Amino acid sequence: MSFEDKLRKIKPYVAGEQPQQENVIKLNTNENPYPPAPEVQEKSREFVTDILKKYPDPDIHLLNAALAKYHGVDESRVFSGVGSDDVLSVAFLSFFDSDLPILFPDITYAFYPVWATLYRIPFTEIPLDENFRIRPEDYYGDVKPNGGVVIANPNAPTSIAESAAFIEDIIRHNPDSVVVVDEAYVDFGAESVLELTEKYENLLVVRTFSKSRSMAGIRIGYAVGSPKLIATMNAVKQSINSYTMNHITIALGVASVEDESYFRDVLAKVTKTREAAKERLRAMGFIVPDSKTNFLFAEYPGVPGEYIFTELKKRNIYVRWWPKERIKNRLRITIGTDAEMETVYKEIEKIIEAYKNR
Ligand SMILES: *Cc1c(COP(=O)(O)O)cnc(C)c1O
């Protein structure tokens, strides 16, 4: 066996493009168009000194405590990481150590199959129904045993949210597996199952600062679950890298959590623009499901998604498109500012006209 044979072969997750030039309308990776809370901006100016020469707190106590207080849970129920990608990756490694396949939908966050492959976790991708909805029975572990369940709610890239009762039904039917609910977009109007972590010891709820808190660049994600699950994640994390989160990030994370009113203002603005965008795109002839996220999953019947995607990019407008059979005519459009959206509508109208007259 050569050393090449011993290298890990993995097809990595492909992140959305991060164009570095100015003057683009960037609606391709679900960032928030508004700045983070004023206190975050204020605090970030303080970090020029001494503190950087010391290691940060491996237990991320100040941020975990702020999040625990925010959610009204004990700090032993909170785990913070470097983006929810880090948190989910640690969760996969912590909870899915069996020979049974873990389950998640065929259309969902594309990182799940990558972690499963990397960590040699068997997995089954279960087709969503024709309306991109989850069929809860497909996930009943008490009917057919599984190694674990991962559900994004609201789901991405579909933008569709299920109720807390719907998600609880899946949890109730999986007493013997960990159920991970990825609530990356829940702040934009969906029902959360976070409170159910008190009732179900095998439930982990994952959140991120990247979308609703306008802090994609700083990398903060966290999980809330039973002390048993959180302790397992801490043991796994401490076996990889103790000092995951730096001083600056911890302090800025706390500042964000403490400004509830700014947070609510930004959410109100984004959801208002989202509802207007949905109506506007529907009026243009797009099929757009109701969204509980900060993006829309739109299809224009008769015009290929790739065509609109490519034409928008020529105009410095970035949205997301995947060459995947069931969704290849769909575009995932992040909600930008009202001004950005106006430009998007105008350009899309021109692109569709041009396609019809070609
Ligand atoms: C954006 C996203 C994440 C990752 O977010 P980070 O906290 O920036 O790593 C995780 N899950 C879903 C469903 C997402 O859309």
83 lines ligand 1 (CB under 6 A): yes
Which ligand 1 atom is the nearest neighbour of the CA of 156? 13
Q: Which of 63, 79, 85, 158 to mutate to test the pocket of ligand 1 (most atoms within 8 A of CB)?
A: 85
- Measured in Å, residue 220 CA sits from the centre of ligand 1 at 10
Ligand 1 neighbour 303 (Cβ under 6 A): no
Domains of the chain: 3-35+261-356 (3.90.1150.10), 50-258 (3.40.640.10)
Backbone angles phi, psi at 150, to 5 degrees: -125, 120
205 touches 232 (CB < 8 A):
no
Other Cβ atoms closer than 10 A to 43: 18
* DSSP secondary structure letters along 183-236: -TTGGGTPPP-GGGGGT-TTEEEEEESSSTTS-TTT--EEEEE-HHHHHHHHHH
**Contact at 8 Å (CB) between 221 and 209?**
yes
Question: Which of 12-16, 90-94, 123-127, 312-316 is least confident?
Answer: 12-16
pLDDT of residue 343: 98
Span 20-61, pLDDT tens digits: 888 899 999 999 999 999 988 888 877 766 677 788 999 999
Q: Is 210 in the pocket of ligand 1 (CB under 6 A)?
A: yes
Mean pLDDT of 244-261: 95
Euclidean distance between CA atoms 281 and 296, whole angstroms: 10
pLDDT of residue 48: 64
Find the range with the poorest average confidence among 10-19, 117-126, 177-186, 286-295.
Answer: 10-19
Give the closest residue to 108 by CA, choosing from 324, 358, 288.
324
Over the chain, what is the mean pLDDT?
A: 95
% of the chain with per-residue pLDDT over 70? 99
- Atom of ligand 1 lying closest to residue 86 CA: 9
184 Cβ below 6 A of ligand 1: yes
pLDDT greater than 80 at residue 145: yes
Helix-helix angle 83-95:111-118, to 10 degrees: 40
C-alpha 85 – ligand 1 centre gap (Å): 6
What sections of the chain are H helices per DSSP? 3-6, 38-44, 61-71, 83-95, 111-118, 164-172, 227-237, 247-258, 260-284, 305-314, 338-356
Q: Is 215 in the pocket of ligand 1 (CB under 6 A)?
A: no
337 pLDDT band, cuts 50/70/90, is: very high
Mutating to test ligand 1, I would choose from 80, 181, 208 the residue with most ligand atoms within 8 A of its C-beta, which is 208
Given a cut of 90, is residue 3 above it in pLDDT?
no
Confidence class for position 252, pLDDT limits 50, 70, 90: very high
Residue 146: the pLDDT is: 97
